[in-house]
Each structure stands twice: as C-alpha cells, then as structure tokens.
Amino acid sequence: MRRHHDMGGLPAGPVERTEHDHAPWEKKVDAILRLLVAKKVMTLDELRRGIEELGPGAYDELSYFERWIRSITNILLEKGVLGVHELGRAIEAAKARRAAAEACPKTVPTA
C-alpha cells in the first residue's frame, strides 16, 4: 500500500523555483511544534504520521504549515492535551480577537 507522501521516484512535473519568506503565522506553527517536541509532549514521528494521515487530498490542497498545524492539532486531540470543545471555543475567540484588532489596530500595544 503505497501512500501519497512516499513519492520518491514517481513521475512529476518540472521543478519550479518557488519560495517565499515565511509569514509570522507559519513561524508560530513551527515554534509550537518545536516547543511540543522539546517538552516531550509529542515527537516528530507523530507529526509525520499525522501529516501522512491527512490523506492525498489534504496533501495537495493544504500548504506546508497548514498540514503541520492540522497534524499537531490531531495529535494533541488524540493525546488528550486538547479537547474538541475547548478548541472550538478557542478558534472563535481567535477570530474575534483578529476582528477586534482590525477594527481598532491602534489600541494594540507593540510590547
């Protein structure tokens, strides 16, 4: 059963020299992962397994750090570090914070 991520040797199109500077939210995902690994909450092996289990659709449709945060979240849910309901609330809270900051950015302190 060859899975989607195991792509060495398969035909593919030309290599395109795409690159971008990482956005702050991407660095945040990277930092979350590093801290979780350093604190032994999860391993890189679990991160990889979680990415592989997102399936071929997600693999092609999501960006690199979108796959990471999806995998990290699923692993933390599996381990009971996070709960589904509190995560739902926290996502809505994050959106509300963003909306509030966009409405009045000058009230956001810089330090």
Binding mask 7-46 for other proteins (x = CB under 8 A): xxxxxxxxxxxxxxxxxxx-xxxxxx-xxx--x-x-x-xx
* Closest distance to other proteins from the beta carbon of 93 (Å): 5
**Does 48 contact other proteins by CB under 8 A?**
yes
How far is 82 from 73, CA to CA, in rounded Å? 8
Name the residue nearer to other proteins (CB basis): 21 or 57: 21
Helix axes 64-79, 24-38, angle to 10 degrees: 40
How far is 56 from 52, CA to CA, in rounded Å? 8
**Does 61 contact other proteins by CB under 8 A?**
no
Sequence-distant (6+) residues with CB within 8 A of 87 are 73, 77
Out of 54, 61, 70, 85, name the contact with other proteins by CB under 8 A: 70
**Does 109 contact other proteins by CB under 8 A?**
yes
Among 38, 43, 48, smallest CA distance to 71 is for 48
Out of 57, 84, 85, 110, name the contact with other proteins by CB under 8 A: 110
Out of 55, 56, 61, 95, name the contact with other proteins by CB under 8 A: 95
